[in-house]
Amino acid sequence: MTVSAVVKTYGRGSAEVRALDGVSAGIPRAQFTAVVGPSGSGKSTLMHCMAGLDLVTSGSIVLDGVEITELSDRALTRLRRQSIGFVFQSFNLLPQRTAYENIVLPVTMAGGPPNHKLLDYLVEVLWLASQLSHRPAELSGGQQQRVAIARALVTRPAVVFADEPTGNLDSRTGAEVLSFLRRSVDDLGRSVVMVTQDPTSAQYADQVLTFEDGSVIEIAVPDADTEIPVVPVIASSRRPAGASLAGCPS
Ligand SMILES: Nc1ncnc2c1ncn2[C@@H]1O[C@H](COP(=O)(O)OP(=O)(O)OP(=O)(O)O)[C@@H](O)[C@H]1O
């Protein structure tokens, strides 16, 4: 995904806010990109524009060769359903549906059957086997976020956008969630873009875009040899060697 000279303004005249002030950045395929910066610097606005949830004022955003800023509403909706997965701070699960129904919802809404090999894999690595029949209110925050990650990955999207995915979790549970996002890059070849205010979360990323006042002021590549925090079961290195998904359809 390539973002070129993107400007996004809200309001007019003296009330105009320039949320994005000519942002350019590459989002490499099958890599984990973290977007960091102070509150109000434009991180969420960029993510909403990249996900086709908000229109740019000017500039270009290309996903898999498609200029998404020129798509119709209908085409954008299709793009979001087929090519984009979302993970939100507040989980956004449907309260009346079970964990299983929430996970497969994007596939059933598109009229297709779920890919059972992928589904089995997601349920196993996200430790959800014993929670599938539970409703969200019966799950912990970490369990709900793991359901949301499975839901985001079940359509095999080109990009997963995660907006403060650990914001409502304690640090240990947050580390688990970050490890799962890391694995969705390493094991399933997904591209992940995560907005976060937490600098330690950015340690899980391959590249870190730092925002200030609507502009990217730094693009950094964290040291690949840096150890990231250890969480149970999941390996501690940036590229976990254990429990790989060999043979799992990506
Ligand atoms: N719908 C909107 N209408 C008007 N102004 C907006 C709107 N959305 C965002 N803004 C403004 O655009 C700027 C960037 O906001 P944005 O939410 O992208 O920042 P952020 O870095 O994601 O902040 P936070 O970390 O607090 O979520 C801010 O000045 C914000 O007030």
Give the tokens for residue 199: 């600098």
The Å distance, Cα 41 to ligand 1 centre, comes to 7
135 with 95: CB under 8 angstroms? Answer: yes
Task: Count CB neighbours of 95 within 10 A.
Answer: 8
More reliable by pLDDT, 112 or 35: 35
Distance (Å) from CA 214 to ligand 1 centroid:
9
pLDDT tens-digit series, residues 159-216: 999 999 999 999 999 999 999 999 999 999 999 999 998 888 888 999 999 999 999 9
Structure confidence at residue 98 (pLDDT): 97
Which atom of ligand 1 is least distant from the CA of 8? 12
Tell which CATH architecture fits domain 2-9+17-220. Answer: 3-Layer(aba) Sandwich (3.40)
> Could you read off the pLDDT of 108-124 as tens digits, one per residue?
888 888 899 999 999 99
Look at residue 242 and tell me whether its pLDDT is greater than 60. Answer: no
Take atom 6 of ligand 1 and give the residue whose Cα is closest. Answer: 10
Overall average pLDDT of the 135-164 stretch: 95
Which atom number of ligand 1 is nearest to the Cα of residue 37?
21
pTM beyond 0.90: the answer is: no
Q: Does ligand 1 come within 6 angstroms of the Cβ of 17? A: yes
The ligand 1 atom at the shortest distance from the C-alpha of residue 45 is 18
197 ligand 1 Cβ < 6 A? yes
- Substitution candidate for ligand 1 out of 3, 23, 41, 45 with most atoms within 8 A of CB: 45
Q: How many CA atoms lie within 13 A of 111 on its CB side?
A: 1
Residue with CA nearest ligand 1 atom 5 = 10
pLDDT digits (tens, 9 = 90+) for 20-30: 999 999 999 99
Q: What are phi and psi of 176, to 5 degrees?
A: -60, -45
- Tens digits of per-residue pLDDT, 42-73? 999 999 999 999 999 999 999 999 999 999 99
Q: How confident is the model at residue 228 (pLDDT cuts 50, 70, 90)?
A: low
Confidence of residue 226 (pLDDT cuts 50, 70, 90): low
Break the chain into its structural domains and give their ranges.
Answer: 2-9+17-220
Checking 82-85 for CB contacts under 8 A at 24+ apart, the result is 82/110, 82/155, 82/157, 83/157, 83/158, 83/159, 84/51, 84/52, 84/157, 84/158, 84/159, 84/160, 84/161, 85/151, 85/152, 85/153, 85/155, 85/157, 85/159, 85/160, 85/161, 85/190
Residue 42 CA to ligand 1 centre (angstroms): 6
Angle formed at CA 166 by CA 159 and CA 83, multiple of 5 degrees: 15
Provide the token pair at 57: 């004022």
Q: Does ipTM surpass 0.95 in this model?
A: yes
pLDDT recorded at residue 227: 56
**Residue 219 scores a pLDDT above 80:** yes
How does the average pLDDT of the chain come out, rounded? 88
